[in-house]
Structure 1
Amino acid sequence: MLTKRNVFLFYKPTNEIEEKIKPFKELLVQYNYRLVSNYKEAHIIVSIGGDGAFLQALRKTEFQQEALYLGVNNGDHLGFYTDFSLNDLTSIDEALKNENVEIRQYPAIEVTINDEKPFYCFNECSIRSNVIRTFVVDVFIDDIFFERFRGDGLIVSTPTGSTAYNKSVGGAVVDPRLKAIQLTEISSLNNNEFRTLGSPLILSGNSSMKLSVVQDGNDYPIIGADNEALSIRHCHDVKIKLADIKIKMLKLKDNSFFQRVQKTFLNKN
């Protein structure tokens, strides 16, 4: 059983969710957990909602390295980051009672735009054109020029984020136990005149990447940090590397990454 017991609940307060969350709070108190109002005092940060809420919880609580993160859905659909549901408190009770949870560590990426203060992403950082014209980006890997990309945009994802936006545009699903980052193209332009790699590229976690926007009038790209769009003007370059931090999550022992991939993408029911 976990010995550090301060719990912070992250959710969007509504009358409905406040009523629904009461039994969950009572269950935590029953197991001697203490609810706190400041996430910096928490040993466990619980997001209430789907995978999107979990990503918001990470960002809004500033990627706390000493805390454990736990995802609890407020509906019946369980995601990659939510092993439990408020609709099934029995499963939570059984997991706490039988200690059927374990700590898993997942990587994040560190993103620096225009050499300003870096920030973290748990799933991916994406950069896309915000106008109807070809987006041109020079791609550097470990400070060496790799290619000039022309298309709609690029996604750099973590292994855990490989099943999200990355997969929807044909990226590879990557085992989160690997120390790696992935570059995936969005609608690249390939013909007799212009050429890109045209396939996902998986790099060692020791590699770094720089995406330099060619200043041809497309200087206000849409930059996505997980599920949040950033307001950045005059973006010149985006530097990305695997972060030094690891996100620690409380997960069910019998619900591995590949079991979740199977349930999400392969099972019909």
Structure 2
Amino acid sequence: MSNDRRNLYFYYHPNDQLNEQLKPLFDLAKENNFEIVEESKEANIIIAIGGDGTFLQAVRKTGFRQDCLYVGVRSEDEAGLYCDFNLNNFNEMVDSMLNAELEVRRFPVIEARVNDEYSFHCLNECSVRSTLIKSIVIDVYIDDIHFETFRGDGLIVATPTGSTGYNKSINGSVVDPKIPCFQVSELASLNNNRYRTLGSPFILGAERTLKLKVIQDGNDFPIIGMDNEAHSIRNIQDVTVQLSDKQVKTVKLKNNSYWERVQRTFL
């Protein structure tokens, strides 16, 4: 680990048990000349402790920083596709960081613009869903070309790493994060003579622009999911999604590839 990466910021949801578990980790970090900082903006390594949900929150709450590394640490019984380390083996984590047995992994990020007014970044996915007991109608454009008119519960736009989350639960494809792209999947589409969709997930390359135009038919308050947060924005007209120039840089142990973690999690 480079000497200029010594400021650690820990992001976690405190509770008595976790606080006790973290004390030895804090002590070990200090013994090895790491400094624990109170503000994320002062850190060059941000450590999320909990699971994938906590990791997503840590990235979002700290602003998808491009000048630092993110580290995911699983607590007990938590899923960990973003987490290479386990809290019960923190000696291994500190030893690996000191002995440079880490590799930097770069994850693609998508940017979603709502009504060309609000911009959000997502590491996992952006979803547009109906909040009513009523289907939502969305015109789907790819590079300003009308592709299809969707009617159903909603659409999910997932990054490659997000392909193993919500996207996978609705039979979307699992995508290698080394491929710069994003995936569009349907939630309960209604296909008939009036509304016709592809009926399967599709993957768009890095240079593509996806625009989802919400048809104003009384369902004007859809919920927009940004990773594991929900946003209710009044009068949504369209959502434009592109692959962002930003990437989330994480550290991983050698011999622990993305596909090894997928195998360990699902097979």
Which residue in the other structure is 2:144 paired with? 143
Cα distance in 2 between the residues matched to 1:202 and 1:44: 32
Question: Cα 1:218–1:76, aligned 2, differ >3 Å: closer, same or farther?
Answer: closer
* Contact 2:222–2:236 (8 Å) recurs in 1: yes
Which residue in the other structure is 1:222 paired with? 223
Question: Cα 1:93–1:39, aligned 2, differ >3 Å: closer, same or farther?
Answer: closer
Question: Cα 1:117–1:134, aligned 2, differ >3 Å: closer, same or farther?
Answer: closer
For residue 230 of structure 2, give the secondary structure of its aligned residue in structure 1: strand
C-alpha displacement of 1:77: 4.0
Q: Deviations over 1:20-50 (max 9, x none)?
A: 1111111211221111111111110001111
Cα distance in 1 between the residues matched to 2:118 and 2:220: 20
Q: Which amino acid aligns with 1:258?
A: W
Which residue in the other structure is 1:2 paired with? 2
Give the TM-score normalised by structure 1: 0.95
Q: Report 1:95-134 matches (<5 A).
A: 95-134=96-135
Q: Which amino acid aligns with 1:16?
A: Q
* Contact 1:78–1:85 (8 Å) recurs in 2: no
C-alpha displacement of 1:194: 2.4
Which residue in the other structure is 1:45 paired with? 46
Cα distance in 1 between the residues matched to 2:44 and 2:229: 25
* Contact 1:76–1:85 (8 Å) recurs in 2: no
Cα distance in 1 between the residues matched to 2:10 and 2:19: 11
Cα distance in 1 between the residues matched to 2:100 and 2:137: 51
Gaps of 5+ in 1: none
Which residue in the other structure is 2:63 paired with? 62
- How many residues are aligned here? 266
Give the TM-score normalised by structure 2: 0.96
1:212 has 2:213 as partner: yes
More divergent stretch after superposition (7-16 vs 154-163): 7-16
Q: Deviations over 1:155-187 (max 9, x none)?
A: 001111111101111111111000101111111
Q: Which amino acid aligns with 2:67?
A: E
Q: Report 1:69-218 matches (<5 A).
A: 69-218=70-219
C-alpha displacement of 1:94: 4.1
Q: Report 1:238-249 matches (<5 A).
A: 238-249=239-250
Cα distance in 1 between the residues matched to 2:234 and 2:118: 15
Which residue in the other structure is 2:18 paired with? 17
Q: Which amino acid aligns with 2:49?
A: I
Q: Which amino acid aligns with 1:242?
A: L
* Contact 2:136–2:154 (8 Å) recurs in 1: yes
For residue 87 of structure 1, give the secondary structure of its aligned residue in structure 2: helix
The CA RMSD over aligned residues, in Å, is: 1.3
C-alpha displacement of 1:134: 1.7
Q: Deviations over 1:27-82 (max 9, x none)?
A: 21122111111111111000111100000001111111101000111214451011
Cα distance in 2 between the residues matched to 1:207 and 1:139: 13
* Contact 2:221–2:232 (8 Å) recurs in 1: no
> Percent identity between the aligned chains?
53
Q: Deviations over 1:94-145 (max 9, x none)?
A: 4235432111111100111111131200000001011111210000111111
For residue 210 of structure 2, give the secondary structure of its aligned residue in structure 1: strand
* Contact 2:110–2:159 (8 Å) recurs in 1: yes
